[in-house]
Amino acid sequence: MKIKKEYVLLSVLIFALAGYLFFKKTNRLHYTLPVSPIIAKNDIVKLELHKGEKQTTLTKKDGVWFVSPGNYPADAEKIDKLIGDINDFSINTLASESGDYLRYDLTEDKRIAVKVFGEKGPLFSFAVGKRATTFKHTFVMIEGDKRVFQTQGNFRSDFEQGPQDLRDKNVLPLVKDAVVSLEITEGSKVLSLKKRAAEEKGAEQKTADAQATTTAGWVDRTGRETPEAAINELFSQLSGLQCDSYLDGKKKEDFKDPTLSIALHGERSGTLSIFEKNDQKTNGTPAISSASSSPFILQKSKVELIRKALKEIRGEKNEPQAGPVIQKDTE
């Protein structure tokens, strides 16, 4: 009889536990995910990114994006990536209802608050936390909802960028074919180069090819032709030149007596001036250009490659490095 009672009690416990697990699972499945608004790319005219006390504002004016503080031209590709993240914003699961924001980097000091604006005002607001362990998802919160959700995509690093990161780093837009002459000043050395057209070919060739005059190369004032490989290398380094960062708080007028200046003339003229590095704490080399309103920093390796190409253009050979001195045994 005692054994029968124990079986009954055990059966009751099993049913109770099964019921508890069933209802707990049922309750988990019965939650509602917020629906992300559908926002067209062209409807977004402003973005505000807040992290702690720092704020970055991106504003579109006449189809061009600017970043503030400073109201500088923004990097179009990076802005497109941010807007793409917003367009693709899709919540796929509930991560937490407990308010444990520290676990997801969603505390006020760590989260990135994003506000999206259209022409008539706010369109959508959310907060970005850390990436999930899957590396394919990100933890987020929606304005007005205290829960933590997991959304598709690993995009925290996109929104974590500040004004310096989002600025347009192009400092010398250059099209090689549009340049017809160069003037290079490096210390006391001045070199002028111009593009030379080949001599017209014979009559038979003219008949066969109406384009008888073609580019033959670059020559200096004496008519000496410069090495084509060196010219190509120089343009390779200058084309689409991007700075490493901008020198905030400095003006172009603060920089005088460049160690190297390159003036390009043609359909698209431009200048680049490189200066001696004075601040040893700053990595890279200070420079200014006609295409940038602010002074900036070029990577040291980039400057070295430009100088190397110029040396080859002038016909100067690289000095061999001195090897170890070997003393002969005279005994």
pLDDT of residue 211: 43
195: left (phi over 0), alpha (psi -120 to 50) or beta: beta
Q: Are residues 97 and 228 in the same domain?
A: no
Coil, strand, or helix at residue 302?
helix
**Residues 183, 289 within the same domain:** yes
- Structural domain containing residue 50: 41-166
Lowest mean pLDDT among 97-101, 117-121, 136-140, 153-157: 97-101
What pLDDT band is residue 177 in, cutting at 50, 70 and 90? confident
Q: What is the CATH number of the domain that holds 80?
A: 2.60.40
The CA-based angle 203-206-210, given to 5 degrees, is: 160
Q: Classify residue 331: in a domain, yes or no.
A: no
Alpha carbons 273 and 264: distance in angstroms, whole number: 12
- pLDDT tens digit sequence for 253-263: 999 999 999 99
Specify the pLDDT at position 20: 47
Residue at 24 is within a domain: no
What would the pLDDT profile of 129-156 be if each residue is shown by its tens digit? 999 998 999 999 999 999 999 999 999 9
Answer yes or no: do 293 and 305 share one domain: yes
Query: In this structure, are 101 and 180 located in the same domain?
Result: no
For residue range 230-274, what is the model confidence (pLDDT) as tens digits? 999 999 999 989 999 999 889 999 999 999 999 999 987 899 999
Statement to judge: residues 159 and 179 lie in one domain: no
Q: Do 288 and 175 share a domain, yes or no?
A: yes
Q: Are residues 183 and 157 in the same domain?
A: no
The number of folded domains in the chain is: 2
Per-residue pLDDT band at 15 (split at 50, 70, 90): low
Structural domain includes residue 161: yes
Residues 127, 182, single domain; the answer is no
Same-domain pairing of 220 and 280: yes
91 and 162 in a single domain? The answer is yes
